[in-house]
Amino acid sequence: MQAAVLGSPVSHSLSPVLHNAAYRALGLDHTYSAIETAESELGSFLGSVDSNWLGVSLTMPLKEVAFDYADTCDELSTLTGAINTLVFGTEVSAFNTDVLGLVDALAEAGSKQISTGVIFGSGATARSTLVALQRLGATEVNCVARNVSDVERMAKIAQVIGVNFNHTSVSNSTWLTADVVVNTTPVGALDELAREVYSPAGLLLDVVYNPWPTQLAASWAVTGGTIVSGLAMLLHQAGHQVTLMTGKPAPVAQMREALNAELLARGLSTI
């Protein structure tokens, strides 16, 4: 059986390392690869899969267009408007494991119960982050982002899940006093903000993991805060994908070990 991560670009994806390590640990004769797939190519790819396919992981730019090809969607993908997993069977089933990966990564770092959160960015990962923070207990979430239409979309989700949501500028944000701050913006976007970090109260999860630490994460740690790499989210969301595709509990410890070995080989920081 086989599976893959689809998206563009995916040539440097760490997902094959995680999933293939899981298959080895579970004693499964499966393979997992990375396949460059543009948004316009997803339909033809899905039309070509046969019974030898378990499913696929989806990264940008495919997380929204995938709704056109799913027969069923789980609650989290419907709520967030983002799909990162398709499982093949008698039908194509869609899931969002990013939310679960975020919850696991934050809980593992000690944020098992929070009340306030701040999100930088407003895309698909930001929407998943909003739901993850609510699942951890957050009742107040502040968003700092430029795309007004995307922020309005997040506000609608917040209303559904019962979170008090507000959109502010950085200067009016509660990012230095919140229980959890999650940066979902691209690498370098918050480098200037890193200069303003001073004695942060909460934990920072930065989805950017190359380079690591980011300038924001480095400043956060130096001034006394706790930081979590986006690789922790990647690890845990992949674990949930393994379970969905194989029906077996994911061997997260072995997946982490393989991930760290690959990170060392690439000259990157481990988790």
Q: Does residue 64 sit in the same domain as residue 140? A: no
Position 112 pLDDT exceeds 90: no
Q: Does residue 66 sit in the same domain as residue 148? A: no
Number of independent structural domains in the chain: 2
In a domain, 271, yes or no: no
Q: Does residue 46 sit in the same domain as residue 79? A: yes
Res 115: pLDDT:
97
State yes or no: cis peptide before 9, omega within 30 of 0.
yes
Q: Does residue 114 sit in the same domain as residue 66? A: no
Q: Does residue 179 sit in the same domain as residue 240? A: no
Q: What is the mean pLDDT of residues 229-240?
A: 97
In a domain, 270, yes or no: no
In a domain, 114, yes or no: yes
- Beta strands at 164-167 and 92-95: parallel, antiparallel or unpaired: unpaired
Distance CA 94, CA 78 (A): 9
Distance CA 227, CA 12 (A): 24
Q: What is the mean pLDDT of residues 182-203?
A: 94
Query: CATH number of the domain that 196 lies in?
Result: 3.40.50.720
Contact (Cβ atoms closer than 8 angstroms) between residue 54 and residue 3: yes
In a domain, 115, yes or no: yes
Q: What is the mean pLDDT of residues 103-121?
A: 94
Contact (Cβ atoms closer than 8 angstroms) between residue 238 and residue 15: yes
Domain region containing 47: 2-96+233-265
Q: Does residue 169 sit in the same domain as residue 106? A: yes
Q: Does residue 193 sit in the same domain as residue 146? A: yes
**For residue 181, what pLDDT band results from cuts at 50, 70 and 90?**
very high
In a domain, 23, yes or no: yes
**For residue 105, what pLDDT band results from cuts at 50, 70 and 90?**
very high
Distance CA 139, CA 123 (A): 20
Q: What is the mean pLDDT of residues 99-128?
A: 95
Q: Where are the alpha helices (DSSP H) in the chain?
A: 15-26, 42-48, 75-80, 98-108, 124-135, 148-161, 215-222, 230-246, 252-265
Contact (Cβ atoms closer than 8 angstroms) between residue 15 and residue 5: yes
77: nearest Cα among 96, 92, 62: 96
Q: Does residue 122 sit in the same domain as residue 200? A: yes
Active-site hit among 63, 112, 156, 248: 63
Q: Does residue 89 sit in the same domain as residue 116? A: no
| Single-letter code of the amino acid located at 178 | A
Q: Does residue 242 sit in the same domain as residue 197? A: no
Q: Active-site residue 248, yes or no?
A: no
Q: What is the mean pLDDT of residues 209-221?
A: 93
Q: Does residue 122 sit in the same domain as residue 181? A: yes
In a domain, 34, yes or no: yes
